[in-house]
A = this chain, B = another copy of it.
Amino acid sequence: MNSSNKKPVIACDMDEVVADVYDKFLKIYATTYNRVLKKEDYWGKKIYQIDGAIKLRDVLYDKGFFADLPVMKDSQEVLQELQEKYEIFFVSAAMEFSNSLVDKRNWAQQHFPFIPWKNIVLCGSKRIIRADYMIDDHPRNLVDFDGKGLLYTSSHNIDENRFTRVNNWQEVRDFFKNEE
C-alpha cells in the first residue's frame, strides 16, 4: 500500500471515534427512564446493555439518529493535521441501519468538509478494508486488519488489551508523531 508515492492510508471509524454516540444515548436514556446515568452506571458496557434498556438499541434504526451527533473533541483538528502526511478515509459499519446511510454521509461532509466524499466508506464487515492504519473502537475490526490498529477507548472496550490504545485525539496525534 505504501510502496508508491501515495500517502499512507488511515481508515478512521466514525461512531465512538469521531461521533459521540454515548452523549446521545445518555440523553435518550434520561428521557425514556427519567434517570440521569453516571459514568459508573454504564462504564464497561453499552448503554443498552444496562438492565432493562435493551430496547434502547432500536433507536439506531431511526431516521436522523446519526444526523446530529456531537463531534469528538479535537478530532477535526487532528484529522486535518494528519491529512498533510496521510490519506484519511472514514470507514463506518452502517449497513445494518438503512436510515443511517445518508445521515452518516451528510454528517461527515458537514463536520469534516476537508475529507472528500470519495474517502467515505459505509460498510458492514471491515474485513474488506485495506489501509496502513485503522482507528476503531471495536476489537473485532482490528483483529482482521493487517495494518497497524489503534483501539479508541469506549465504554464497551475497556477490558481489551490486544491493541495499542488511544484514549482521546491528543493521544492519536502523539501516536502519529512517533510514527514519523
Contacts and interface: CB of A to CB of B under 8 A. Distances in A.
Interface of A: 6, 9, 11, 89, 91, 95-96, 98-99, 101-102, 105-106, 116-125, 127-131, 146
Given A11-B128, A105-B95, A120 B118 contact: no
B128 A124 contact: no
Given A95-B122, A129-B130, 5 more contacts: A98-B102, A98-B106, A118-B124, A123-B123, A130-B130
Contacts of A129: 128-130
Chain A interface SS verdict (over half): mixed
Contacts of A11: 128
Contacts of A118: 95-96, 124-125
Nearest to A118: B124
Contacts of A102: 98-99, 101-102
A121 B93 CA distance: 9
Contacts of A128: 9, 11, 89, 91, 121, 129-131
A82 to B, nearest CB: 16
Contact of A105 (B98, B117, B121): B98
Contacts of A96: 117-118
